[in-house]
Amino acid sequence: MKRLPVFLPMRNCPNRCIYCDQVAITGYSDYPSPEEVRVEASKNVEPLEVCFFGGSFTCQPMDLQRQYLSAAASAPAGSCIRLSTHPLCITSEVLSLLSEYPVRSIELGVSSLDDGVLKRCNRGYSGRVALEKISLIANGPGNIPGAQLMTGLPGQDENSSMKDLMLLRDLKGNGKMELRIYPCLVLRGTPLEGLFLSKQYIPPGVDESARWAGRMVRYASRNGFDILRVGLQETHSLMQGVVAGPHHPALGELARAFAMVLSLLEENPTGPWIADQRQRSLLAGHGCWGFRELERLSGLDPKRARDLVTWTG
């Protein structure tokens, strides 16, 4: 289904996270009006998914939420709505309002479920509260809950991220849950930049970040999560705004390559391996980064490791 993205950068966010600058990330600084959304949505003849990103949609006044939802609902029959919001702005009253419109997916900017990490990042809630809000969505009127997690946050490590996924898995059970994984980047003008410049925060490198996210991808895939995105979408404004951190336009591909390597090694630590031809670029792309990780973890000679992969399909 085609998507109509509507960016509301940092709109009605209840507090400022130390790493966040949605204008730098998305390149959008103005808010489209509900009428502008209505015009764009009604231009289409096929069903589409109208997506509200970049701000805390349900933190807006209820009447403004209704105006935007009504505008999005002017899309052709069979269309649906996706929105992202802050955990603190999910209530039974809000979900009741959303149920009046074709809202299918509600993504929460969770970042982490580790209370220490959340406090350092000025998120304004605890991991317990975030889980309660996701549960409220999951048990609500037919919405698919989504969690937006991050890697490389101050005070965070891989163990913390894996614990987050385990908690979400337990909450999800056999139900549906969507997942996005974003790296923490040091953006110009944010409080995190000050911590970086004073050496109080050292971000992970690209390789470390890709392996970190790759382990999360592998775990999430095995446990039935729908992984929507890994890494940030590259924009000119993002390129201009990054001061430090694992900034790479294909970080998601590197993470998926590492997840594939982990999968192969789980099947056989030293080969041989059988892999789908359609995934060949994951190992061979970006300077054969995936192959090099396979060689590193298996301990095999580079040529021998590559010869042990048989491509099918």
Element containing residue 111 per DSSP (H, E): strand 103-111
pLDDT value at residue 208: 98
CA dist 147 → 27, 94, 111, 306 (Å):
23, 18, 8, 36
pLDDT value at residue 17: 87
Q: Specify the amino acid at residue 138.
A: A
Q: What is the pTM of this model?
A: 0.94
pLDDT value at residue 86: 94
Cis ω for the linkage preceding 272 (within 30 of 0): yes
pLDDT value at residue 36: 96
Q: DSSP assignment, residue 226? A: E
Element containing residue 130 per DSSP (H, E): helix 127-138
Q: Residues 178, 143, 168, 1: what is their CA dihedral angle, to the nearest 10 degrees?
A: -10
Backbone angles phi, psi at 114, to 5 degrees: -85, 115
Measured over the CA atoms of residue 153, residue 155, residue 136 and residue 94, the dihedral's sign is negative
pLDDT value at residue 29: 61
Q: Give the span between the Cα atoms of 256 and 210, in whole angstroms.
A: 8
pLDDT value at residue 282: 96
Measured over the CA atoms of residue 233, residue 147, residue 187 and residue 9, the dihedral's sign is positive
Sorted by where each starts, the structural domains of the chain and their CATH numbers stand as 2-247 (3.20.20.70)
In a structure prediction context, what are the per-residue pLDDT tens digits for the chain, which is 313 residues long?
899 999 998 777 777 789 987 666 665 667 899 999 999 999 989 999 999 998 899 999 999 999 999 999 999 999 999 999 999 999 999 999 999 999 999 999 999 999 999 999 999 999 999 999 999 999 987 899 999 999 999 999 999 999 999 999 999 999 999 999 999 999 999 999 999 999 999 999 999 999 999 999 999 999 999 999 999 988 888 888 999 999 999 999 999 999 999 999 999 999 999 999 999 999 999 999 999 999 999 999 999 999 999 999 8
pLDDT value at residue 11: 76
